[in-house]
Structure 1
């Protein structure tokens, strides 16, 4: 993933921007609700006939979702030894993940393998070593945008599944607000870390092309972007910075592009309720069978 000079993970100011977005969007809460609804049943199927479980998180960020899922996994199988390999390119976010583990005694019983690198570098390393550790459950949450080759990435991680394993990809939903924004303004937005925007539509087309069996679960989510339409609002500006992957929304685009983005956000990507504007940030949870 990490070619020289290409930012493929959150570092520096982008870590703060990402954390600010998470505080305002409710995204992790929505993902965790889906995890609690869907995963225990999936894990029962995965674990049938097994006595231990190996998990791989790819692009795990600060571990806020991973630690919750690992806690849920432990409570589902209290007697099972569990290992968790974590692939994350950001040092700051990996440190955050380790700090969460350090605060949770039960999570310290899990054996961790930390791989501070991008997903494609991990793939190269695994192939170079020729020692492919296989996993019962692999998850890639909100990271598929950053890989160079979607098809190859899915093929590789699918190849790491043990019998009965599952690969879970969580990505923005096709035709959601993010999909409309990033595809309408592709040439203006897909110029830095994300060079090709993908939603669940692209992922599912790829799975069908590879003949893989999967199920899709919608993760409903909206968040309030009313302040994005007030140029004097610091909150609105910071949200716009994150949503367009820029440090400065108001100086990064021409007045025409800015006006077009704001019009699209209000009229095509959101609904208005009680004078507030709520952005459609639905996600898709795709569970791929081994």
Structure 2
């Protein structure tokens, strides 16, 4: 799971730890593969017959995935004007996003509106204005864990969809190792960054309760956590810090809890292949229709 601090305090070392995780997990590559497998048909359906297209990214981070999706949308509708609104609480990541836009051909032509705030504050700002911009495509990738109220968040962003629009939510699959780890050690892990862990099962239950139409697509991923079991490995230590949202895994938990987490990671959250411990990091892509 892309465990990061709440967007409003997602700066400094937390960003560096997140980027370290991305380098070692292949998560962005898996998400981008999923995007290119799943989205082309959906984007064609969304944009059919429209004279302009408006996109909203919520919790977009440094823009690595957003720019790819916008480029894909441009390639499908080269003559249709596109706008992009970005909601991201980290000013550091917004700066990274802007730098990426500046060196991505074609994307520079898209007018961006930057909202440096978390998703709740964006909702408050929109409601206070009383004039809501609506969107053809809204995406929330690996950020649904950090919202205060899951049902209210889904209801609000779904309300911003235009006719034939789609809200895309990417979240850790209910069958993933993340779900096993965070549900098993909920009491120990959900104390600061996250106070409530959510997987695709929680999101789907919310969608069904609200009577929303959706499709679920699997985005498979796994990554090597073998070094997490080597006490002398700095890479393993940093991965464990990130995966448990702790400052220092070794100092944050009792010996019994540490041993239990490591045992769970090896035997319940991963598969062993060629001597490597491969953590199940499968993602669920949910396409929610207007």
TM-score by length of 2: 0.97
Q: Deviations over 1:52-84 (max 9, x none)?
A: 100000000010111111111111111110000
Mapped pair 1:142 → 2:133:
no
Counterpart CA distance in 2 for 1:187 and 1:80 is: 49
In structure 2, runs of 5+ residues without a counterpart are none
**1:7 Cα deviation (Å)?**
6.2
Q: Which runs of 4+ in 1 moved over 6 A?
A: none
Counterpart CA distance in 2 for 1:7 and 1:44 is: 32
- Verify the 8 A CA contact 1:171 1:199 in the aligned structure 2: yes
Q: Deviations over 1:170-228 (max 9, x none)?
A: 00000210000000000111011211000000000000000000000000000000000
Counterpart CA distance in 1 for 2:151 and 2:262 is: 33
Name 1:175's counterpart in structure 2: 175
Equivalenced residues, count: 286
Counterpart CA distance in 2 for 1:89 and 1:69 is: 20
3-state DSSP class of the match of 2:166?
A: strand
Name 2:248's counterpart in structure 1: 248
Name 2:224's counterpart in structure 1: 224
TM-score by length of 1: 0.97
- Verify the 8 A CA contact 1:139 1:169 in the aligned structure 2: yes
Name 2:206's counterpart in structure 1: 206
- Verify the 8 A CA contact 1:7 1:193 in the aligned structure 2: no
Counterpart CA distance in 1 for 2:157 and 2:41 is: 22
Name 2:39's counterpart in structure 1: 39
**1:10 Cα deviation (Å)?**
2.2
Counterpart CA distance in 1 for 2:150 and 2:43 is: 26
- Verify the 8 A CA contact 2:175 2:282 in the aligned structure 1: no
3-state DSSP class of the match of 1:136?
A: strand
Mapped pair 1:190 → 2:190:
yes
**1:8 Cα deviation (Å)?**
4.9
What RMSD over aligned residues (CA atoms) do the two structures have, in Å?
Answer: 1.1
- Verify the 8 A CA contact 1:54 1:137 in the aligned structure 2: yes
